[in-house]
Amino acid sequence: MSKTLINISEYKKRRWGENGTPPTNQSIRNMILRGEIPAEKIGRDWYINWSIIEKQTGNNLVDRVLRG
């Protein structure tokens, strides 16, 4: 499975759109640390795995099992 890694600002654009009201960058980082958003830390920056986000079902348990 190929990975599509995007930065937090791109994630906010794709998830909430240009005129949406996304959470702050710190809130998104906290969601990453809690395991709610699949991401990798490269250097000092977090990159969200968009290919996993696209395949999520909406059921937290199923999504965590599929994520591995």
Q: How far apart are CA 36 and CA 23, in angstroms?
A: 14
**How high is the mean pLDDT of the chain?**
90
Consecutive H or E run containing 46: strand 45-49
CB 8 within 8 A of CB 25: yes
Question: Predicted confidence band at 42 (pLDDT cuts at 50, 70, 90)?
Answer: very high
Total Cβ atoms within 10 A of residue 30: 13
| Confidence (pLDDT) at 1 | 56
As a whole number of angstroms, the distance between CA 43 and CA 20 comes to: 29
Task: Give the DSSP letter of residue 6.
Answer: E
* pTM, two decimal places: 0.80
Contact 39, 55 (CB under 8 A): no
Among the listed ranges 7-16, 20-29, 53-62, which one has the minimum average pLDDT value?
Answer: 53-62
